[in-house]
Amino acid sequence: MADVLTLSKSELILGGQKSGKSRRAEWLARTWLAASPQHKATLIATGQAWDEEMRQRIARHQRERAERVPGLQTVEEPRQLAEAIAAHSRPDTLLVVDCLTLWLTNWLMPFEPTAEDSETNRPQAPDVSAPIAMLLGAIRNATGPLVLVGNEIGLGVIPLGREVRAFVDTLGRLNQDVAQACERVTLMAAGLPLTLKGVA
């Protein structure tokens, strides 16, 4: 893994479930905090507790994260991610966004039916081009280091259902756009980082 001297202005960390992507982001935050007493780190959490299992998962992540990175502050922002990055980005503050996949989910699901959909009872996904464009602008304009975590879910079988396929397609395009905007892109597999873009 890179040390703080080669910490990129922006890094996208992709991986599957339990691939180690959040742990890498936490490692970068710990390294940043340890490098200087003036350094700060803030996690922008995008997850929402839709059910009891998700509430327990979030609470567990909060406890474990507090143990691993005691100096990491947390801000919860499920949708207005660009605004949160702009509000909290500082030259002395590392921002960790965890994660882009849940952020996109919060915009796309559940689908709300429109009058046009009433005949088929199959609602259309909302247009997310504007919030994505705002996010890309916030990444480029961030004044401090920025780490974004996201899922790579396009490596499996083609999912059943129009809505799920549309989500996979949209997430894939989001990952590509964010990768273009970031200085470094890292793919995590089995806890090991593979640098796809930037300095290893």
User: How confident is the chain (200 residues) per 10-residue block, as mean pLDDT?
Assistant: 66 96 96 96 90 85 88 95 98 97 90 52 77 98 98 85 89 98 97 92
Q: The tokens of 195 are what?
A: 């640098």
Q: What is the pLDDT of residue 2?
A: 42
Domain that holds residue 151: 4-110+122-197
pLDDT of residue 114: 52
Query: Is the distance from CB of 98 to CB of 46 less than 8 angstroms?
Result: yes
Q: At what angle do helices 21-35 and 52-68 cross, to 10 degrees?
A: 30
Q: Residue 33 falls within a domain, yes or no?
A: yes
The verdict on whether 61 is a catalytic residue reads yes
Q: What does the DSSP 8-state code read for residue 26?
A: H
Instruction: CATH number of the domain at 9, please.
Output: 3.40.50.300
Split into its structural domains, the chain has a count of 1
Residue of 143, 33, 28, 30 whose CA lies nearest to 85:
143
CA 84 → CA 20, 98, 190, distances in Å?
A: 25, 13, 31
Residue 21 lies in a domain: yes
Residue 145 in domain: yes
Q: How far is CA 178 from CA 52, 62, 101, 139, 174, in A?
A: 31, 26, 12, 8, 6
The pLDDT assigned to 54 comes to 83
**Is position 116 within any domain?**
no
For residue range 34-57, what is the model confidence (pLDDT) as tens digits? Answer: 999 999 999 999 988 778 888 888
Write down the pLDDT at residue 1.
44
Cis, bond preceding 113 (omega within 30 deg of 0): no
- The amino acid at 63: R
From the list 4, 48, 58, 61, the catalytic residue is 61
pLDDT for 29 equals 97
The pLDDT of residue 185: 98
CB of 179 within 8 A of CB of 12? yes
The number of angstroms, rounded, from the C-alpha of 35 to the middle of its chain's C-alpha atoms is 24
Single pTM value for the model: 0.89
Element containing residue 25 per DSSP (H, E): helix 21-35
How many other CB atoms are there within 10 angstroms of residue 156's CB atom? Answer: 9
Q: Has residue 83 been placed in a domain?
A: yes
Residue 70 lies in a domain: yes
pLDDT recorded at residue 110: 61
DSSP of 78-144? SS-HHHHHHHH-BTTEEEEEE-HHHHHHHHHSSPPP-GGGTTTT-PPPPP-HHHHHHHHHHHHH-SS
